[in-house]
Amino acid sequence: MSLNPASQPLVLEAHGIVKELGEGAGRIMAVKGVDIALKSGELTLLMGPSGSGKTTLLSILGCILSPTAGTVSIAGTPTAGLKPEALAMLRRTHIGYIFQSYNLFPTLTAVENVRIALDVAGVTGAVAIQKAEQALRDVGLGHKFTSYPAHLSGGEKQRVAVARAIASAPSIVLADEPTAALDSENGHGVMRLLAQIAREQNRSILVVTHDSRTLMYADRVIHIEDGKIVSEEHPAKAPVTELSGKAILAAAPVAVAADNTPAEKPRRKSAPQRTKEPAEAKILTDLIQKRKSNA
């Protein structure tokens, strides 16, 4: 079965992936026979309920976990039977991985966290510093180069993790909920960046997400449930270039309104947007006012 009839080369192919996890009675099948292929220039979303096996699948595609059954090949190289060193080599040359729990080095600053991934991939010296700083600027952390993870907010840590994954320009980026800890503005910023990398640098990007705001960036959406792919769709997506600040900001209040969370949280998170865009800010304040008077 070919998932990608298009002309772009397949950079990642997986067939019949099965993964069993746990021991004894607690042993479960987290992934139950998944076929997936990623091609360059495409941003794919992997959506599904918690516990459906998204992280497990992603780490198998990233050659971090080995499947119980099935085959994975990266840039034409089948991974079956490869020694740990060879797998590590594939990871550092082809894959940028964004961990759901960030996995930053607590003893290194933001820029050093990015540099170490470059260092592992053999990029060193002034070039590494320049690339690391650029990647951090790309995720909006140009002012946090020398901050340690302990002094970064959850969202900032997540963005450092994103910068680390993209800095060496890998052909495949596997992102595990890269916007989960981000407010609307930064969430869109990261997704826009990933979409842009996919398109302009011809990379292949797979994003695990729960976040419906990311839909607009997807070339393809795969739904997974209970370890199996249940559907796949190609949404009509707005071109990345049109997703300017205004469109994103306009989307933000809608998301807030649809959400039933208390008004205080989004209000604080939306604060910087209000100063930037008075019109949207007004809608937001009006909504919040309305809620408050209703309560």
Partner 1 sequence: MILTLAFRNLFHDRIRLAVTLVGILFSIVLVAVQLGLYLGSSREITSNIENAKGELWITAFGAKSFEDGGTLLTQKERQAALGTPGVKSVAPVLSVFAEWRKPKGGSTRVVIVGADAEDGGIAPFRLVEGTWEDIKAPEGIAVDKSYLSELGIDGIGSTAQIASGRVRVRALTDDIKSFTQSPYVYMPISRARALLDAPGNTATFHLVTLEPGANLETVRAEIKSKVAPAEVLTKDEFLERSLKQWLFNTGAGAALIGGALLGTLVGTVIVAQTLYSSTKDHINEFATLRALGSSSGYIHKVILAQAGMSALLGYALGMVLALIIVYAAQGSALPILMTPALAFGLLVLTLCMCAISAISAIFKVTKIDPATVFTR
Ligand X SMILES: Nc1ncnc2c1ncn2[C@@H]1O[C@H](COP(=O)(O)OP(=O)(O)OP(=O)(O)O)[C@@H](O)[C@H]1O
Binding region for ligand X (CB under 6 A): 21-22, 28, 30, 48, 50-56, 100
20: which residues sit within 8 A by CB, 6+ positions away? 27, 28, 29, 30, 68
**Residue 6 CB, nearest distance to ligand X (Å)?**
28
Q: How far apart are CA 90 and CA 74, in angstroms?
A: 7
With respect to partner 1, which residue has the nearer C-beta, 93 or 147? 93
With respect to partner 1, which residue has the nearer C-beta, 112 or 226? 112
Beta-bridge partner residues of 14? 36, 72
**Residue 176 CB, nearest distance to Mg ion (Å)?**
6
Residue 101 binds which entry of partner 1, ligand X, Mg ion, none, CB below 5-8 Å type-dependent: partner 1
Stretch that binds Mg ion, among 93-101, 117-125, 146-154, 249-257 (CB under 5 A): 93-101
**Residue 65 CB, nearest distance to partner 1 (Å)?**
5
* Residues found in the chain: 295
Give contact residues for partner 1 (rule: CB under 8 A): 55, 59, 62, 64-65, 84-85, 88-93, 95, 97, 99, 101, 103, 105-108, 112, 115-117, 119-121, 124, 164
**Residue 148 CB, nearest distance to partner 1 (Å)?**
10
Residue 119 binds which entry of partner 1, Mg ion, ligand X, none, CB below 5-8 Å type-dependent: partner 1
Residue 186 binds which entry of Mg ion, ligand X, partner 1, none, CB below 5-8 Å type-dependent: none
Closest CA to 259 of 287, 222, 230: 287
Taking the alpha carbons at both ends of the chain, their separation in whole angstroms is 55
Residue 92 binds which entry of partner 1, ligand X, Mg ion, none, CB below 5-8 Å type-dependent: partner 1
Q: How far apart are CA 214 and CA 119, in angstroms?
A: 31
Residue 267 binds which entry of ligand X, Mg ion, partner 1, none, CB below 5-8 Å type-dependent: none
Widest CA span in the chain:
64
Q: How far apart are CA 202 and CA 142, in angstroms?
A: 25
**Residue 108 CB, nearest distance to partner 1 (Å)?**
6
Closest CA to 163 of 195, 192, 140, 188: 140
Tell me if 39 sits within 8 A of 76, measured CB to CB.
no
Separation in Å, CA 179 to CA 75, 122, 185: 27, 28, 10
Q: Which of 52, 55, 168, 184 binds Mg ion (CB under 5 A)?
A: 55
Closest CA to 186 of 248, 133, 267, 276: 248
Residue 53 binds which entry of partner 1, ligand X, Mg ion, none, CB below 5-8 Å type-dependent: ligand X
Residues that bind Mg ion (CB under 5 A): 55, 100
